[in-house]
Amino acid sequence: MNSYFNKIIKNNKLILTTSLAVTIAVFCVTYYNQRINKQTGCPPAENAPPVRIASTSLASDELLARILKEAGQPDRLVAVSTLADNPAYSHLAGTLDATRARIGDNLESIAALKPDLVVFANFNRPAITSALGRMATRTCWLENFSSLADIHRNTLMLGDAIGLPGPARVIADQFIADIRAAEQATNILIAQGRDPDEAKRPRVLSFDGSGTVMAAGTTFDDLVALSGGINAATAAGMTGWPRITAEAVAGMAPEVIVLLTDTRTKEDLMGSLEASPGWRDTPAVKNRRYVAPRPADLLALSPEVLSVIPSMRAAFLTGGGT
């Protein structure tokens, strides 16, 4: 187990700095952005709050459902995205009744519902937002999905947009508390290593079969840190979702690989890794150190994303995973 349970760095101060980095980022980014809330594409409700809210993306589906449930007003959500019922991607699957419409970004289907607020994500078509604006329908356009701080910020922003800042604050505060609890659990597990003076967090890479990995400036990067690992792509100075070469992978020498199985099976991805130059010679592949979280957990754009941490932590620190 010791070959896979790589213990934390020598300096205890560095442990504390690492473990608190995500929480500090959440607070700083959120409160800065709250000051410029009115300048975003999702302004607060200044008059009567909307009573017929339509969501066109899974990100806003989950956030709106949680806020409205907290407020005891779930019926205000009259439409959710077409992915809301897909258990591979959604934490709402099986929880929504048929009275809510299922919509995409089709203008006619949205307009037919006569919503007084339509919530988009930055990956929805901007032309739809513009067209709804001309119809005098309020829109809220969430723009950032690159960190846990963005999830915290989007929760508060949506709460303001639908006139429920209090319930949104309850959810956002619980999110911070859950992040702190995850940090504490990870650090306790790390501290149980036999040789803490020689310890280090394992190097981790994501793999989806496309040659693209997730680096700094992604929610995945935050999750790796909270789970006790080091994102090897971030350590190599990469940001966003870069494509990497076989030579770069070999140089990063990941010890654990997180498989993104949203479009391919775990077995298919493992076979692809073991046949790919660069990847097949890494410690992770040689030792079959894989973890394949449920896509709905790993890719969530709501506080539900923290549910992926136990499986990732087990793979990073205790020899769990495949």
Confidence of residue 255 (pLDDT cuts 50, 70, 90): very high
Amino acid at 214: M
pLDDT tens profile 293-318 = 999 999 999 999 999 999 999 999 98
Residues 72-87: what's their mean pLDDT?
Answer: 95
Domains of the chain: 28-174 (3.40.50.1980), 195-317 (3.40.50.1980)
Give the Cα separation of 181 and 175 in Å (integer).
Answer: 10
pLDDT tens profile 182-223 = 999 999 888 876 444 445 799 999 999 889 999 999 999 999
Q: What is the pLDDT of residue 322?
A: 63
Confidence of residue 97 (pLDDT cuts 50, 70, 90): confident
Q: Is pLDDT above 50 for 29?
A: no
pLDDT tens profile 156-186 = 999 999 999 999 999 999 999 999 999 999 9
